[in-house]
Amino acid sequence: MFILGIDTSCDDTCSSIVEDGKRMLSNIVSSQATVHRSYGGVVPELASREHIRNIVPVVRESIERASLRNKDIHAIAVTVGPGLVGALLIGIYFAKAFSYAKGIPLIGVNHLEGHILSIFLEPKIPSFPFVALTVSGGHTNIYHVRGFGDYTVLGQTLDDAAGEAFDKVAKLLGLGYPGGGIIEKMARDGRVNAIHFPRSYLSKGSLDFSFSGLKTAVAIYINKWRNNNDNKVSLHDIAASFQSAVVDILIDKVIAAAEKVGVKTIMLAGGVARNNFLRNRLKEKIFGKGVDLYIPQPELCTDNGAMIAVAGYHRLMKGHRDDLTLDARSRFPLNQI
């Protein structure tokens, strides 16, 4: 079964073909990073316009790369939320038209479910149950994953997402957008203990996240650092110390979540999962504890259509189909699917 997966939840136009929910035949992503860079973040209206411009050629290329034709597609899966409404609507209305014209099933997919199920495109896959940390520019959540479509939220951010904090700190440092990769690169030549930025753990035993205080602490420090011309601390040190603070919080929370629900498998997903410092530190922390770690390849951590196709496949196998009333949902908690 060939599933066409489409994601236009933010600023990447994504289309992919996946066979039987596990074999990726193509994965095309058109990035808008250069469009939004001068603004220091995603401009929703510009994102929508770029999706309109890109959706047809991106889908066409994904089908051609898979060596298929339109008539070979058995179903189409599309992200309905969470995300930017205007951006989501471009993918949804294209999917509706494609589904109607070809007479094939239409499946609306939760973007976060896609991130969790991206691991099932890898050769080595986890067994249920496991704990998943989805961490990106818009989301930082921990889920207890008991099966396809069976998820419980264990923790979530109460303000900024981790990826959003990376972007904002990069902007404060004048490093550009998007900030995650730039901060990671700068941090390689810095000292993780040069500055002790706060780690917010909220109330005792809480698995929720808060990065707004950390972001404010970094902003205050940068202002003092620039005014005092402190040559003992470099830009690299600030990046490394900030990154270390974020990673410490993420790792401590996800390990605590696994212990709380009694599972020995952790899965890492989302754009921030590409961060090698996070990957390596988590591996170090769980070493010798009998915990298995699963992380998708980097191209499957960022937004992509393949993960949407996988989620759509498993929903279709359970008899789920949507009709032409399918609509965008800017907020779409995973427990509402």
- 146 and 287, same domain (yes or no): yes
The rounded distance, in Å, linking the Cα atoms of 112 and 269 is 9
**Which pair of structure tokens corresponds to residue 174?**
């004048």
**Which pair of structure tokens corresponds to residue 179?**
């900030």
pLDDT at 229 > cutoff 80: no
pLDDT tens for each residue of 79-138? 999 999 999 999 999 999 999 999 999 999 999 999 999 999 999 999 999 999 999 988
Q: What is the pTM of this model?
A: 0.95
β-bridge partners, 19: 2, 23
- 261 and 165, same domain (yes or no): yes
pLDDT tens for each residue of 274-294? 999 999 999 999 999 999 999
Q: DSSP string covering 68-115, please?
A: --GGG--EEEEEEESS-HHHHHHHHHHHHHHHHHHT--EEEEEHHHHH
- 272 and 190, same domain (yes or no): yes
- 133 and 274, same domain (yes or no): yes
The rounded distance, in Å, linking the Cα atoms of 205 and 213 is 19
Mean pLDDT, residues 312-325 taken together? 97
Strands 265-269 and 130-135: parallel
Quick one: which of 72, 55, 44, 53 has its CA closest to 7? 55
**Which pair of structure tokens corresponds to residue 23?**
């074999």
CATH number at residue 242: 3.30.420.40
Note whether 7 and 308 are within 8 A (CB). yes
- 93 and 139, same domain (yes or no): no
- 171 and 305, same domain (yes or no): no
Q: How many domains does the chain have?
A: 2
pLDDT tens for each residue of 143-184? 999 999 999 999 999 999 999 999 999 999 999 888 999 999
- 269 and 318, same domain (yes or no): no
- 136 and 58, same domain (yes or no): no
Cα-Cα-Cα-Cα dihedral sign, residues 41, 46, 50, 52: positive
pLDDT at 231 > cutoff 90: no
Quick one: which of 131, 124, 89, 126 has its CA closest to 258? 131
The rounded distance, in Å, linking the Cα atoms of 303 and 28 is 10
pLDDT on residue 230: 67
